[in-house]
Structure 1
Amino acid sequence: MKTFEELGLEYNIVSAVKELGFENPMSVQEKVIPVLLENNQSDVIALAQTGTGKTAAYGLPIIQTINTKKTHTQYLILSPTRELCLQIADDLSDFAKYKNEIKITAVFGGSSIERQIQQLRSGAHIISATPGRLLDLIKRNVVNLSKVKTVILDEADEMLNMGFRDDLEEILKSTPAEKNTLLFSATMSSEIRTIADKFMFEPVEITIGKKNVGADNIKHICYTVNAKDRYLTLKRVVDYYPEIYGIIFCRTKRETQEVADLLLKDGYNAESLHGDLSQAQRETVMSKFRQKNIQLLIATDVAARGLDVENLSHVINYNLPDELEIYTHRSGRTGRAGKTGTSIVITNLKEKSKLRAIENKLNKKFEHQQVPSGNDICARQLFYLIDKVEKVEVDDSKIKSFLPEIMKKLDWLDREELIKKFVSVEFNRFLSYYSNLKDVETPVESLKYKSGNYSNNNFKRFFINLGQLDELRPKTLIEMINDFTEINNIEIGEIEILKTFSFFEIDADYADKILFSFRNKYYGKRKISVEISEGRNNNKSKKSFSLKNRNSGKVFSQKKKQKSYNR
């Protein structure tokens, strides 16, 4: 392994880096820094997981090569979120500790634009920016990028996932054609390749590990359960890992808040992070989490973008993400800087294909495990407590004066009885909770129904006031059911799409959930009405049904206009 000096960095920069606690370069730094120092005209694509030291990989060379005699902007760094934007600016300031003449400005939304304009007008050698705010400043003629020497796209895949492609292209068009471009990303998607082909010339490609795969030091565990057991499983997982410090990812803002509220109610040290929080609330939550005043952060993917936290032990996927690349980003938040980490998935039988796709993407297999039993959890918690007691440091000077009274009070207890009582003080909560609680069962995969042969005879039939004239499709209806109920594994039976209304069948156990979830919902500008169908003809061979009109009392009969859709 090379040293920072051997990579060609100046003494004052190496000193600043070592004062930050870094003795040797990480893999991405060892590969990228010499390329940028030896030929700062090269375009570079660097693929490495989040948390592998990418900021220093490009930051140290640009601090060294900047020309402080010129006042114009020479380096532009684009990143997806204000948190990452600020973090980059702070890191660069730390690297430039002994080069005080370098001016670095962070430009991002959600903060005073007037103050940022003032900072830019006083000069900025380096701008760290989010695309939206930078584009606004360009249009106001506040930012001049005509002399930019290098553009760095940090977490380029995240910027594209967040819909910044048009903004990125417009910004890049306002920079000189002869500049060089550095692109840093965790994954190499087709969109990243398109950007590279359009704006980069014969880039040097540097890959740490394999493209689009997970880090080797992250363990991937999968618990397959029924939908109703998802939260119970989460609690057991958290209880099974007493020292857990992690992020729990949910699919929606509503689910994020619900899970956080349930965990708080059940006595866990948890907080939520989602888009409905104000910027001040977000910053408070993130600050508490970074300082480990919060043990569990329940977050949406969008809200957690740019949140950089060291030493996460676990990432828990309460729901699998829709995009495979997002799982890579989620899992990459643990196991950083060479440490080990665990990424846990709570899933159901219907997500098998998605799991396989993720395994192919990561080039890794999930370790499928049984949900920890109450006995397993109690044993784990007990020995965790014993280990803490065994390793705790004793300060005799602080407790010496109390010991005679304590000894006198406990003198009547023998050693075994004392140990039992001591353990029970901390441990009774788990023992009482799990003593009579059934373990979470792993569901057995049932046979799928085909051509009208149903594996689930417990279907309830529903009427919905949308049909062909509303351009309703089976796929659209299924997506509505998933989105409104926020449950994506409800078993769906026959779907009939008719001219002005439709019918669908759902596992009867979810009947009340369906009725509640579709209340006050709209399809475009039309208010949705969902009711349990009262005129169901149970003979599957017949092609007609009847529906009583509640206003007129008439009964309508109509032939099927479309074949049933089996899922």
Structure 2
Amino acid sequence: MTSFSETGLKEEILSALETLGFEKPTPIQEKTIPHLLNSKQDIIASAQTGTGKTAAFGLPVIHNIDVDNRKPQALILCPTRELCLQIANDLTQFSKFIKGLEIVAVYGGASIEPQIKALGKVAQVVVATPGRAKDLISRRKLNLSNVERVVLDEADEMLSMGFKDDLDAILSSVPEERQTLLFSATMSGEVKRISNEYMNEPIELSAARINLGSENVSHVFYQVHAKDRYEVLKRIADINPNIYGIVFCRTRKETKDIASQLMQDGYNADALHGDLSQAQRDEVMGKFRSRQLQMLVATDVAARGLDVNELTHVINFNLPDDPEVYTHRSGRTGRAGNKGISVAIIHSREMRRIKDIERNSSIKFKKELVPNGKDICTRQLYALIDKIEKVEVNEQQIEPFLPEIYQKLEWLSREDLIKHFVSAEFNRFLAYYKNAKDINLPDKKERKERSESRDRGNSKMSRLYINLGAHSQLTPLRLIGIVNEALDSSSAEIGKIEIMNRFSFFEIDTATVDKLIANIKDFDFRGQEISIERAQQKDNNNSSSKYRGRGEGRKRDSRRSSGDFKKGGNNSKFRGKRNRR
């Protein structure tokens, strides 16, 4: 099938598709549209985000509606409010030349009264989330007695979100003589149960997986220690000044934590997760769609229905357990002819999962090195110069200020003026990445060489005592931050860390010990003076009173104000070099 005109769809629908720029049906559309136009047999379709599944079921639904019948004839169920609105909007666009056809979206998180009012008028197609549909049915405001077609879109997600009982209640209240269309990315046990119980001898259709193999999407991975994931995320953002992407996390807590850290570190980011109210979700998604946000940190479920074609990056902060979920995530970039990059941040034991995704999706990952400080600074500098070169100058508005500006800067030569201007905008990156370490995990050959080097005594470690412990809310990450700040560097090798209740022990490169002990006297942590001593000769079982710190006061310069010592936060600059031996 080379065009939609061959499908047999109404002329009004074909005209709408032409105005929308739809040319050739996708594989899932080729398979479903002719069947749904000519048969009332149930179908199970395997289709994922980005394959055109909304049009696959939506165009036949619209084609078969009797506009003279004002009651609901088609019910489309989907897991989230965002997807509900997206489907309703797409169907409205597809049917804009069909007079008398009305599509109503009903969903939770919004007032039910306007939805009841809309259903009381004309509503031939109802797009709903399961919870709100069940509520309206129980109130006798949603009458399904005339429904001829039921669509379960993303059935696997609806079941994973706990809508099993709602789906059972809804499906048991629609006429038995109906056509049921089930669209799902995966066929879980519950999806099969739904199909067995509520479908009549369905045929199975499937489309090629999402465009992971497309030339528009590149798949790369960075391999680092788990503790360095956030640093990798920041470096990806820093080396891509115009990044516009989604960062996928596994849990709500991780989503909130990562988004909070990004915002604290000055990045244009926010979080999307299940703990947000509907008003908060709408605000975040509105900002992201309008590109007021560059990075959206989200869980898989929360990102459902967020349809943006211009994404430059999809970043897997954690790989999903199911390779199919990676398919969902990656398909959100490289759309509408744009290029996209799908990034996976993995640790040493996750190569097997990369291989699983490659086998499952017929794609090939490329291993890349985490950008270093020099590369990032170079990219940021050139981005700044490009911005200055292309900025629009409004002569009329700035003219009154120019004489005084010229007078203030007349002592600077052209070369010095450029240096001052670039430094004013760029010093933050230069300062942060001045001592940026290589956080890439070495390959087998490099690990062997480093091990042999340590065996030759080239990397000796010393065991130190610090008078802070769990009682002081010390964590390994914060200990690394204290060490890095005291040494004014993140290059020191830190080995085993033991956090006790009121004190701790840690291993560190012997060459840094004297400097660390001398410098730490100037710092405090949450108001407690810090003391670090050599621990080789000490009895680990002695009480903490023996090891009380002998700090000599608190440092009062500006350096401490941005660190963990005053606020106790997890500032990203404290991510040190940790070597678990």
Following superposition, the deviation at residue 393 of structure 1 comes to 7.5
Instruction: Give distance in 2, aligned partners of 1:70 and 1:515.
Output: 76
Deviations 1:390-421 (A, max 9, x none): 6x386788699699979978899887767656
Q: Give the match for residue 336 of structure 2.
A: 337
Contact 1:215 1:332 in 2 (8 A): no
Contact 1:314 1:343 in 2 (8 A): yes
Q: SS in structure 1 opposite 2:350?
A: helix
Does 2:83 match 1:84? yes
1:393-412 matched pairs, under 5 angstroms: none
Distance 1:408 1:144, change over 3 A: closer
Instruction: Give distance in 2, aligned partners of 1:417 and 1:378.
Output: 20
Q: SS in structure 2 opposite 1:350?
A: coil
Distance 1:138 1:408, change over 3 A: closer
Following superposition, the deviation at residue 265 of structure 1 comes to 1.8
Contact 1:370 1:442 in 2 (8 A): no
Amino acid at match of 2:260: D
Following superposition, the deviation at residue 315 of structure 1 comes to 1.4
Contact 1:52 1:336 in 2 (8 A): no
Distance 1:101 1:406, change over 3 A: farther
Contact 2:153 2:183 in 1 (8 A): yes
Q: Give the match for residue 119 of structure 2.
A: 120
Instruction: Give distance in 2, aligned partners of 1:56 and 1:272.
Output: 30
Instruction: Calculate the TM-score normalised by the size of structure 1.
Output: 0.71
Structure 2, unmatched stretches of 5+, are 449-460, 463-474, 478-494, 505-581
Deviations 1:323-357 (A, max 9, x none): 44332222222223343322212221233443333
Instruction: Give distance in 1, aligned partners of 2:219 and 2:476.
Output: 25
Amino acid at match of 2:140: N
1:376-391 matched pairs, under 5 angstroms: 376-388=375-387
Q: Give the match for residue 162 of structure 2.
A: 163
Q: Give the match for residue 8 of structure 2.
A: 8
Q: Give the match for residue 207 of structure 2.
A: 208
Q: Give the match for residue 232 of structure 1.
A: 231
Instruction: Give distance in 1, aligned partners of 2:501 and 2:50.
Output: 41
Distance 1:512 1:332, change over 3 A: farther
Instruction: Give distance in 1, aligned partners of 2:95 and 2:476.
Output: 48
Q: SS in structure 1 opposite 2:5?
A: coil
Instruction: Calculate the TM-score normalised by the size of structure 2.
Output: 0.69
1:295-310 matched pairs, under 5 angstroms: 295-310=294-309
Following superposition, the deviation at residue 107 of structure 1 comes to 1.8
Following superposition, the deviation at residue 123 of structure 1 comes to 4.1
Following superposition, the deviation at residue 136 of structure 1 comes to 2.6
Does 2:508 match 1:509? no
Contact 1:270 1:295 in 2 (8 A): yes
Query: How large is the RMSD of aligned CA atoms in angstroms?
Result: 3.9
Deviations 1:41-65 (A, max 9, x none): 1333333331333222222222222
144-153 or 167-176: which moved more?
A: 167-176
1:465-504 matched pairs, under 5 angstroms: none
Q: SS in structure 1 opposite 2:228?
A: helix
Distance 1:426 1:203, change over 3 A: farther
Deviations 1:14-35 (A, max 9, x none): 3333444545544443443333
Instruction: Give distance in 2, aligned partners of 1:515 and 1:109.
Output: 51
1:144-223 matched pairs, under 5 angstroms: 144-189=143-188, 191-210=190-209, 214=212, 216=214, 217-223=216-222
Q: Give the match for residue 111 of structure 1.
A: 110
80-89 or 257-266: which moved more?
A: 257-266
Instruction: Give distance in 2, aligned partners of 1:30 and 1:262.
Output: 45
Distance 1:161 1:404, change over 3 A: same
Number of aligned positions between the proteins: 462
Distance 1:201 1:385, change over 3 A: farther
Following superposition, the deviation at residue 320 of structure 1 comes to 2.4
Structure 1, unmatched stretches of 5+, are 448-456, 459-484, 488-506, 517-567
Distance 1:89 1:16, change over 3 A: same
1:414-563 matched pairs, under 5 angstroms: 423-442=422-441, 509=497, 511=499
Instruction: Give distance in 2, aligned partners of 1:295 and 1:308.
Output: 15
Instruction: Give distance in 2, aligned partners of 1:341 and 1:350.
Output: 26
Amino acid at match of 1:325: E
Q: Give the match for residue 523 of structure 1.
A: none
Amino acid at match of 2:286: S
Instruction: Give distance in 2, aligned partners of 1:196 and 1:259.
Output: 39
Does 2:313 match 1:314? yes
Distance 1:214 1:513, change over 3 A: farther
Amino acid at match of 1:318: F
Contact 1:255 1:486 in 2 (8 A): no
Deviations 1:459-496 (A, max 9, x none): xxxxxxxxxxxxxxxxxxxxxxxxxx999xxxxxxxxx
Contact 1:209 1:215 in 2 (8 A): no
Q: Give the match for residue 143 of structure 1.
A: 142
Instruction: Give distance in 2, aligned partners of 1:310 and 1:515.
Output: 52
Instruction: Give distance in 2, aligned partners of 1:251 and 1:140.
Output: 37
State percent identity of aligned pairs.
53
Q: Give the match for residue 366 of structure 2.
A: 367
Instruction: Give distance in 2, aligned partners of 1:396 and 1:257.
Output: 41
Following superposition, the deviation at residue 274 of structure 1 comes to 2.0
Instruction: Give distance in 2, aligned partners of 1:319 and 1:206.
Output: 31
Distance 1:371 1:82, change over 3 A: same
250-259 or 269-278: which moved more?
A: 250-259
Q: Give the match for residue 286 of structure 2.
A: 287
Distance 1:417 1:350, change over 3 A: same
